[in-house]
Chains A and B, each alone.
Chain A
């Protein structure tokens, strides 16, 4: 893991064609698809300072691994995640059977709420970063042993290729 940083541009904030193009020493900001070229960017930060829309931030080129977790904490987190995902399922399956009505909306909101909390739990259970070795291992296992024949195996393979 190095301290190298690279610039990324938030396209929702960027107003296009202005200061970062002039200050960048390597031309990394000048791309057709507006995504700063990670091959050219040297992480000097000039573009972020110059941008009038605060559209550019510098992010680590690679991330450290998540702090190690004890198995017992992971098991306890997984235990709660399992409860929550089954409550999510129960709420969404009842909501799906109901016409548009108050209770249907309430149950749908509950299902989404349970998902948000479960996501938070799964991040802490060892899957914080998309580019971590845990995620890679998981994807590799899914490709080797697809859970069902309809598993989108190409999707998992593409991810393995795209993630560093």
Chain B
């Protein structure tokens, strides 16, 4: 039997490795991306087809199309700042960054947020991805399908890491650094950044060591 990592696609082939997946130690981690055993699934398992969104009542909140929240606007503006930078429009990029900072600052605090509630929130995000993918597929929207591919993997990794933290506490991070892929958002815990991002395949120098706010 083969077991596949839902984040990076690493395959544990029991026949080849000579170790049944179930017998791997409980704290065994994916050798490529550092995901937990629970992030693996048997290869046969076909994804059940997800429901698609057909009207706004299927969504968690109704979103008036033109009414975006401060948090959404913050990401929208920082994304446009990036877009301007790529077009060598330095002044426009700086201005969009100013707007992004404003919206980040006015985003209301999340009440009673804890590490535990973040884990729950990530779980909900993961649960919505199949519906988002199916909705994009039904509309033949390739761009929207594309953002699901990296986005879902990156979100699964965050969920895996937060659960590893809830289980192990600070021990999980001892002697290691936190690395962020600045292209896709993949987060990695280790002494060094991975040679290639297991999700988007950019080289190690695209990773940033997160070692303090300044």
Contact = CB atoms under 8 A, between A and B. Distances in A.
A125 B198 CA distance: 26
Interface stretch (B10-18, B23-31, B36-44, B170-178): B170-178
A70 B141 contact: yes
A80 B113 contact: no
Interface on chain A toward B: helix, strand, loop, or mixed SS?
A: helix
Nearest to B103: A147
B103 to A, nearest CB: 8
Contacts of B48: none
B7 to A, nearest CB: 13
A103 B187 contact: no
A76 B144 CA distance: 10
Interface residues of A, number: 75
Nearest to A74: B65
A110 B186 CA distance: 9
A159 B179 CA distance: 34
Contacts of B202: none
Contacts of B185: 112-117
Interface string A39-68: 000000000000000000001000000010
Given A82-B69, A94-B113, A106 B213 contact: no
Given A74-B65, A102-B170, A120 B158 contact: no
A89 interface: yes
B53 A93 contact: no
B61 interface: yes
Given A84-B125, A85-B107, A110-B162, A103 B132 contact: no
Contacts of A88: 71
A19 B53 CA distance: 56
B95 A115 contact: no
B212 A105 contact: yes
A119 interface: yes
A73 B135 contact: yes
Contacts of B129: 80
Interface string B89-126: 10110011011001000111110011101100110110
Most interface-central of B80, B92, B143 (chain A CB within 10 A): B80
A103 B113 CA distance: 14
A90 B71 contact: no
Interface string B142-164: 01101100110011001001100
Contact of B92 (A83, A122, A130): A130
A28 interface: no
B4 interface: no
Contacts of A156: 99
A20 interface: no
9 contacts: A59-B87, A72-B56, A106-B178, A117-B184, A119-B78, A122-B79, A123-B147, A130-B89, A150-B102
Q: State the 10 A-B residue pairs at the shortest beta-carbon distance, nearest first.
A: A85-B71, A102-B173, A119-B79, A116-B185, A113-B185, A90-B113, A118-B75, A90-B110, A122-B76, A105-B178
Interface of A: 8-10, 35, 59, 67, 69-91, 93-96, 100-110, 112-124, 127-130, 135, 138, 141, 147-148, 150-152, 155-156, 158-159, 162-163
